[in-house]
Structure 1
Amino acid sequence: MQLSDKHEGTTTKAFAGLRVLDFSTTIAGPHCARMLADMGAEVIKIETDGGETMRTRPPLRKGCSTVFGQLNVGKKSVVLDLKSEDGKEAVRRLVATADILVENFRPGVMRRLRLDYDSLRPINPRLIYCSISGYGQTGPSAELPAYAPVIHAASGYDMAHLAYQPGRDRPDYCGIYHADVVTGTYGFGAIASALYQRTATGFGQHIDVSMLESMLTLTLTELQSSQFAVKAPPRPMFGPTETANGYVMITVASEKTFQGLMSVIGRPEWISDPRFSIYAVRRDNWGDVMDGVEAWSRQLTTDACLVALGAAGVPASAYRTVSEALADPQLAHRRALSEVKDEGGSFQVLNLPFRMSGADTTPRERMAVLGEHTRELCDEVGLADNAPIPSGKTVAQG
């Protein structure tokens, strides 16, 4: 269903009427809160007067970061000094009106500010308080500093990935922050679950999300094989297959796709060959399988390979850049991107990767200026005289 194909009721926002206080920074927490905002919650981002870290991350236009925009579009911006009594009192009054709080400080920071769950629960027993941290809120590693690249290394993910790169022994550099996005998404799911539970109990709760444990969920096979002796195939089963002008990714994950692939490469007799006829033996001889596949694929262009594989129902793709992926007509069909605006102009952000027949999941259209809603929300909770800065303050960034 395209977003324009709306029947009665589809303009509803699933989380409309909920208020979220977002104390988080960088990626994991802001990603979680952005999902809540897209689902209709009023998300109030609490920042310092210097602005959140990601406001300075490129690409920048007129000092405005589109990466920050991707993570924070649709949120309100309030500047508070959490070390001052006025700032903490403003938080307490906002908490009394809130449904959800998201924070990803190092464990102990909110407790020292007296803004932890135990301190705020008496003010609002219905509050759902989500803490995202590197290793969890308690335990011997709890207070260690952690960002996604550290968690990638600590979780075993980087070494697991390296094991699929024959002839290499140095781990990859980290530039894509899986741990942040995965953890933020788990936080979103836990919050949605707590909201449902609250309808029955009437009470909120504390959610403790660990980046380490979230990252471990990506190593499903490795988590199990690390407990048992499992022989690795002589060639990784999923990797680049060479063509006449590049590479394709071919994924054989069922008997049907294996049979289809053998038909495409002109080796139908391999379907019953004792070396390949059942998965366990085929895995041990996977190098021979792929030698046969590449003897076929190297004679054809990438496009010709994909046409032949597609006709046989074999899952395959060319290796694309992100720019090439964004130009895919499938994304246009699903309206996967939305145009939003900040003070630097307009840019595109990715929508939530799911569609709902009864709810609108698209983001709001603009980024708030730093501190834009400070005066408004301090007025609401009766602290207008204590607003730390005038609304709409901007911060020079390079």
Structure 2
Amino acid sequence: MTITKNDEGHLTGCLAGLRVLDFSTTIAGPHCARMLADMGAEVIKIEAVEGETMRSRPPVRNGYSTAFGQLNAGKKSLVLDLKSPEGIEAVRRLVASADILVENFRPGVMRRLRLDYDALHQLNERLIYCSISGYGQNGPSAELPAYAPVIHAASGYDMAHLAYQPGRERPDYCGIYHADVLTGVYAFGAISAALYQRSQTGRGQHIDVSMLESMLSLTLNEVQWSQFPVKQTSRPLFGPIETADGYVMVAVASEKTFQSLVKVIGHPEWVGDPRFALYADRRNNWADLMDGVEAWSRTVTTEQCLAELNKEGVPSSAYRTVAQALADPQLAHRGALAEVEDGGGAFKVLNLPFRMSGARVAAGRRIAALGEHTSLLLQEAGLSEQKIAALSGKQAAAE
């Protein structure tokens, strides 16, 4: 069943009615918390007076960052000084009505603030407390500082990737933060599982998510090859084939795909060729197979190449920029992009990459201004007008 935007109008989110306290910064934690918000939870982003660091990350229009907005759409913003007794008191009051807490400080920080799981569990035994860190909450590396590029190197991912780049010895530069996004998704999954368990037991728990272990999960083959070495192919299995005007990715991952490919390139007899007939032989002679493919592909344009491959059901794609990918009619058909707005105007963000027949899954329409919901949330938490005024006064003074 396909869910359209109109169909979603009467649906509610799976997590509607849940309250999340989001103490996280940069990418991994905020990505997890935005997934919770997209699923219907009320997410309260707790920020310092100066605002979360991503609020200044480009592109910035009229003082508002779309990078920040993409990670924090649909959340409320509460400004608190966590170094002050009043700020800690406000958090403890909010915890009483919270279902989930997400934080990605270095291990030990929340404990020093007296906001660790052991302290807050006493206030709310149903609280699901999710800690995201580079290496986990304990162990010899636990307190080492870590950002995604460091974890890419530490996990072996960068060297594993380099092994697929013939003739190169220097690792790639890092500009795409796989570890952050992946860890945020694992955290979301763990929180969802903990919510189900809480429905059975009535109790929350502490979730400890490691970026290092999350990143290692991407190297499925390499984890095994590190234990049981296998002979590598003369040319990596998945890489570009050259066309008359560019490059195409072809994934030959099944017997049917192989048979269809050799038909496209005009060598149907290769199905019985002893170099290629069996998968093991094909791996050992991969360079010969791909040389044969490129002898054909270099004679046609990328568009022609894809047309022939698609006609025979061979998985393939041109190498596209992100801008080109975002313009794909398939994304428009699925409603993959949502328009949101902040003080700088409107822009687009990705919705979550799944649809549900019985629940609304969509990005919130607005990105809150810094501290926009502070007074309202502190009133709900039972703080007096005098205390709220005092906190606001301190924040104004700090600004």
TM-score of the superposition, structure 1-length normalised? 0.97
Q: Distance in 1 between matches of 2:181 and 2:10?
A: 27
Superposed counterparts of 1:292-307, under 5 Å = 292-307=292-307
The amino acid of 1:199's aligned partner reads S
Secondary structure of 2:207 counterpart:
strand
Aligned 8 A contact 1:2 1:335 in 2: no
5 Å-filtered alignment, 1:10-49, equals 11-49=11-49
Match of 1:88 in 2: 88
**Residue number in structure 1 paired with 2:392:** 389
Paired residue for 1:190? 190
Deviation track 1:91-113 (CA, whole Å, cap 9, x = no partner) reads 00000000000000000000011
CA distance in 1 between counterparts of 2:23 and 2:50 reads 14
Is contact 2:355-2:361 (8 Å) kept?
A: yes
Give a deviation string over 1:152-205, Cα, whole Å, max 9, x none. Answer: 000000000000000100000000000000000000000000000001000000
Give, in angstroms, the shift of residue 281 of structure 1: 1.1
Q: Answer yes or no: is the 8 Å Cα contact 1:340–1:346 preserved in 2.
A: yes
The CA deviation at 1:10 is 5.5
Please, what is the CA RMSD of the aligned residues?
1.6
Q: Could you list the per-position Cα deviations for residues 247-276 of structure 1 after superposition, in whole angstroms to 9, with x for gaps in the alignment?
A: 000000000000000000011111111111
Contact kept? 1:378, 1:386, Cα under 8 Å: no
After superposition, what is the alpha-carbon deviation per residue over 1:289-325, rounded to whole angstroms, capped at 9, x for unaligned?
0000000000000000000000000000000000000
Once the two structures are TM-superposed, the CA of residue 3 in structure 1 deviates from its matched residue by 2.5
SS in 2 for 1:81: coil
1:1-16 mapped onto 2 (5 Å cutoff)? 1-4=2-5, 6=7, 11-16=11-16
> For structure 2, which runs of at least 5 residues remain unmatched after alignment?
none
Structure-1 residue corresponding to 2:146: 146
Code of the residue aligned with 2:7 in structure 1: it is K
* Structure 2 partner of 1:108: 108
Uncovered stretches (5+) of structure 1, i.e. residues with no partner? none
Aligned to 2:253: 253
| 1:5 Cα deviation from its structure 2 partner | 5.5
Which residue in the other structure is 2:230 paired with? 230
What aligned pairs does 1:1-398 form with structure 2 within 5 A after superposition? 1-4=2-5, 6=7, 11-384=11-384, 385-387=386-388, 388-389=391-392
Conservation of the 8 A alpha-carbon contact between 1:242 and 1:248: yes
Paired residues of 2:3 and 2:357 also in contact (CA < 8 A): no
Q: CA deviation at 1:364?
A: 1.3
Amino acid paired to 1:234: S
Q: Decide whether the 8 Å contact of 2:58 with 2:67 is kept in 1.
A: yes
Range 372-381 or range 202-211, more displaced: 372-381
TM-score if structure 2 supplies the norm length?
0.97
Q: Write the distance in 2 (CA, Å) between the matches of 1:234 and 1:162.
A: 15
Identity %: 73
Q: For residues 90 and 244 of structure 2, what CA distance do their matches in structure 1 show?
A: 64
Other structure's SS at 2:281 match:
helix
Q: Secondary structure at the match of 1:389?
A: helix
- The amino acid across from 1:389 in the alignment is S
Contact in 1 for aligned 2:27/2:71 (Cα 8 Å): yes
Cα pair 2:38 2:364 within 8 Å, conserved: yes
Equivalent position amino acid for 1:3 in 2: T
